[in-house]
Structure 1
Amino acid sequence: MTHPSALVLFSGGQDSTTCLAHALTRYQRVETIGFDYGQRHHVELQQRQVVLRALRARFPAWRQRLGEDHVIDMAVLGQVSETSLTRDMAIELERSGLPNTFVPGRNLVFLTFAGALAYRRGLQALVTGVCETDYSGYPDCRDDTMKAMQIALSLGMDRRFLVDTPLMWIDKAATWQLAHDLGQQGDAAGGGDALVELIVEHSHTCYTGDRSRRHAWGYGCGTCPACQLRAQGWARWRPSRAAPSSD
């Protein structure tokens, strides 16, 4: 194995939880990093701890691989961003064509700090859940951006990093399927369904931070772009087993 260890950029959402499962099947030593940047959906920082505890409890094959968790204070990012993820404002499209949920430079900053931590911790791969398939057009989620960041981090720190993007070319329906496939490798009672159930019950994706409404696919407002993508992916992946939503 060229890269025996990894640092997962872990927000506590569906995508990053799936990426964490991917890392736990691929790397011998895995740590996690989260960022507090004043996000409106701050509840994700609470849920990420719930997800980590649940993974350790339900997946014995991964328990020994899952190491330390790190949370970085990135309040300055929220201070310089005028977006609907960092301000109490309606979610809408900007003149640029991008939604105002786009936080300029967020993934670039996250990867830079993750790289610095990985350097200190001796971790070789950075695993992140960005993708170009089901996304809102964010330029810092593109494959070219990730390749450029891999080169910049490796050159700037004089250490060869891998930026691992397991979701880059799959949609949300395929992300649900990937979680199911990965869960079958985690030695948990219930197999792949166990990881899907964990993601549904404990992960958080909703941009408004709403955990008062439970749907077949998890908790959320049901109307923000993140909820819509998650719900549509669930409906395409498991229409015959999806229970009616609470709406």
Structure 2
Amino acid sequence: MNKEKAVVVFSGGQDSTTCLFWAKKKFKEVIAVSFDYNQKHKLELECAKSICKKYNVEHHILDLNLLNQLAPNSLTRQDIKVDKEVPSGGLPNSFVDGRNMLFLTFVAVFAKQRDINNIITGVSQSDFSGYPDCRDVFIKSLNVTLNLAMDYQFDIYTPLMWINKAETWKMAYDLSVLDIVKNETLTCYNGIKGNGCGECPACRLRKNGYLEFKNKYLQSQQ
């Protein structure tokens, strides 16, 4: 196994950018892979490109427009507004069926061609908005499936799986990339960089996490 190389599933958002720099600390060579699935917040791909260029990370964007045809949702359809609240007993309309499964599967194919065993993704069961493909049991299951499907040893790392948004901000702080994550990433479902629109679920989660991080960790060090 090649333990010096890794591929990061990279959107240009807070979580994947934190994971990118986590990977850069852990592995000698890191490659970032992003996906174009006709998302409304396409600026995230520009953020991903910019971050990778600025911090010397090899970057690839793969075309996954088929996902938009298969699973219409508020992240890809102009005529569907993003839910401001998660529906009771259901998933928000920002959920894209099969997205993480497809992302990780295509990244695994990409990685194998380059003799890479390590894959990093920023999914989290602690603040996953009910998305079933962010759960630890799914990641472990897919890891086994990919190994069997390609007769190859993959190790999928999920550095954020058991931490919340405040702790994710703390990780960025500990990695000395807090300002990068705060100012150069795009998490907003409405496609606004940095602090975002402030209204969509992703922005509220990000903002509340930052305030908790600031109050709990930064003030305690002053």
Q: Could you tell me the TM-score, scaled by structure 2's length?
A: 0.92
Contact 1:41-1:206 within 8 A present in 2 as well = yes
Q: How much has 1:41 moved relative to structure 2?
A: 0.8
1:153 aligns with 2:135: no
For residue 209 of structure 2, the aligned residue among 228, 233, 238 is: 233
Alignment of 1:1-247 (within 5 A): 3-56=3-56, 66=57, 68-88=58-78, 89-92=80-83, 93=86, 97-182=90-175, 192=176, 195-211=177-193, 218-239=194-215
Q: Could you tell me the TM-score, scaled by structure 1's length?
A: 0.83
Q: What CA distance in whole angstroms lies between the structure 1 residues aligned with 2:14 and 2:87?
A: 26
Q: What CA distance in whole angstroms lies between the structure 2 residues aligned with 1:36 and 1:145?
A: 23
| Number of matched pairs | 215
Q: What CA distance in whole angstroms lies between the structure 2 residues aligned with 1:109 and 1:51?
A: 23
SS at match of 1:126: strand
Q: What CA distance in whole angstroms lies between the structure 2 residues aligned with 1:72 and 1:37?
A: 9
Q: What CA distance in whole angstroms lies between the structure 2 residues aligned with 1:152 and 1:135?
A: 22
Q: How much has 1:141 moved relative to structure 2?
A: 0.4
Q: What CA distance in whole angstroms lies between the structure 1 residues aligned with 2:88 and 2:66?
A: 25
SS at match of 2:35: strand
Alpha-carbon spacing, 1:78–1:95, altered in 2? closer, same or farther (3 Å): farther
Q: What CA distance in whole angstroms lies between the structure 2 residues aligned with 1:72 and 1:2?
A: 23
Alignment-mate amino acid for residue 184 of structure 2? H
Alignment-mate amino acid for residue 149 of structure 1? L
Structure 1 alignment gaps of length 5 or more: 57-65, 183-191, 212-217, 243-247
C-alpha RMSD of matched pairs (Å): 1.8
Q: What CA distance in whole angstroms lies between the structure 2 residues aligned with 1:4 and 1:48?
A: 22
List, as ranges, runs of 4+ consecutive aligned residues in structure 1 with deviation greater than 4 Å. Answer: 93-96
Q: How much has 1:96 moved relative to structure 2?
A: 5.4
Contact 1:4-1:124 within 8 A present in 2 as well = no
Q: How much has 1:112 moved relative to structure 2?
A: 0.6
- Among the aligned pairs, what percent are the same residue? 43
Q: What CA distance in whole angstroms lies between the structure 1 residues aligned with 2:63 and 2:144?
A: 25
Q: How much has 1:4 moved relative to structure 2?
A: 2.0
SS at match of 2:55: helix
